Amino acid sequence: MYTRSIANRIEERSIGTSLLFSMHSDNPEMVGTSATPSRPVLQLAIFVGGSLFIVQLGLAGAIGGLPIAFLLKDQLHVSASMLSLFGALSGVPLYIKPLLGLLIDAQPIFGSRRRSYLLIAGVMGTIAWLLLGLLPHQFGTLAPVAAQVNLAAVTAGTVLGAIIVEEGQRLGATGRFATLRMMASGLAGGAATIAGGYLTGYDLLFTAAIGASLFALLFSVTLGMLREPERATPRRSWCRQLRAIRQARELWLVLGIFVLILMAPGFGTPLFFFQTNTLHFTAKQIAWMGTIGGTAGGVPGLALYTWLSRRMDARRVFLIAVAAHAATTLLYAGYRTLPLALGIITINAFTGAIAMTGGMDLATRATPRAAAALGFALIASATNVTGALSDLIGSGLYTHWNVTFLNLVWLNAATTALALPIGLLLPRTLTQRREGETPPGSEAPGSDGTGV
């Protein structure tokens, strides 16, 4: 559905070992010492989490999701399938994320492998959002400019994803970094839904000004906080990066699981039309219901995954979560009133948070550190492509084949459950390590003066 927020990678050393963060530290050279490794790690988490929040909120389908959706539906009078098509077209940058990952991994800009890309993304996003508000409000005009907004967000998200892969693997904290990513995404989605509900009453230019401000903030935060003291040089050939990905069997298994889960015929856009045309929910009701339910269910779900990941192997947690999420999807069959809708959203957000965080944890573990940006971008792009196709299929069935909303719910739950057999094929080398256990051969924090 277009109103969902859509939002996310080397040398032998981790990039985090060469990042300096000027966050009120009395000793800016503390990065690289083993005496107090926790403070730089906290600084890294704050920077990555805050930047992810900004990027996810700044997506065209996030803070602009409801304003653009209502503009298309009520002013331009597009159908459900056309609204879904708009989301697919504007989301093209999300589908080419692997190409960005390959570029970011291999080619530094002005001696910087991370900082320069984030600064460029900040400038691109600011300009694109302003154009989105100023240009004529037509389908053919809005879609490509919204794609430019998403290109800036995807570039920044890919850089931040590379840091998550590298530092998560090095510190044995893939689950915690996955939780951080999902938390930032969830908070941004909640903020976008609330803000979007209110912004529907104003001209799109007002929304565009807020979006531009977010990317200007990303530029300022990166400029003030992120340092790369060593001048990066172009890395090994792109062919070797691609070979590392091709030989990563575990990554392809995780990718297959994501595709199966997300390829289920989606009912996001049909749900939007069901909410507005059949149940007559207002934009503010949709906004608050999604935010309250998503927060009330998502935050406990993230917390439970963090707790479970320290006590159970990753495969068992993930399989239980996927089964539970497929089952709770069926609750949408009772989506009839505001109280029922709020309860359904909350329960579904709870199981969905555990399942998606578990999947991201596995993806982070399976990504080769020699191609961190490319590997994680591949997972993100595959999920975005299949998610868009899922929504297109669901919208087409709903609009042109008269498949009811209830039948779409049953199809979605059944197809999601098909991921369970593939999950059983995940190798123990990937899943048996619990959160907090450093992978064999990984560098311990601060062990040689290069820890964060």
User: What tens digit of pLDDT does each residue of 361-394 get?
Assistant: 888 888 887 777 888 788 777 777 787 788 878 8
pLDDT in tens, 246-299: 888 888 888 888 777 776 657 777 888 888 888 999 878 887 888 788 889 988
Whether the CB-CB separation of 376 and 159 falls below 8 Å is answered with: no
Whether the CB-CB separation of 4 and 69 falls below 8 Å is answered with: no
d(CA 126, CA 328): 39
pLDDT for 231: 63
Going from the C-alpha of 300 to that of each of 174, 325, 354, the distances in angstroms are 19, 15, 9
Q: Give Cβ neighbours of residue 311 (< 8 Å, ≥ 6 apart).
A: 434
d(CA 346, CA 351): 9
Predicted TM-score (pTM) of this structure: 0.67
d(CA 62, CA 4): 6
The structure tokens 């172009």 sit at 234
- Is 336 buried (19+), middle (13-18) or exposed (0-12) by CB count in 10 A? exposed
pLDDT for 436: 61
Token pair for residue 387?
A: 């998610």
Q: Which amino acid is at 95?
A: Y
pLDDT in tens, 156-193: 999 998 888 877 877 777 888 888 888 888 788 778 87
d(CA 447, CA 228): 20
3-class secondary structure, 375: helix
Whether the CB-CB separation of 290 and 186 falls below 8 Å is answered with: no
Radius of gyration, CA atoms only, the chain: 21
Q: Is the pLDDT of residue 8 over 80?
A: no
- In the chain, the domains with their CATH numbers are 15-23+36-431 (1.20.1250.20)
pLDDT in tens, 136-157: 888 888 999 999 999 999 999 9
Going from the C-alpha of 231 to that of each of 51, 228, 240, 350, 408, the distances in angstroms are 23, 7, 22, 44, 53
Count Cα atoms within 13 angstroms, Cβ side, for 384.
26
Going from the C-alpha of 363 to that of each of 66, 125, 141, 360, the distances in angstroms are 30, 27, 36, 5
Backbone angles phi, psi at 61, to 5 degrees: -90, 5
DSSP-derived letter for residue 112 is B
**Number of other residues whose CB lies within 10 A of the CB of residue 398:** 25
Torsion of CA 271, 277, 278, 279, to 10 degrees: 80
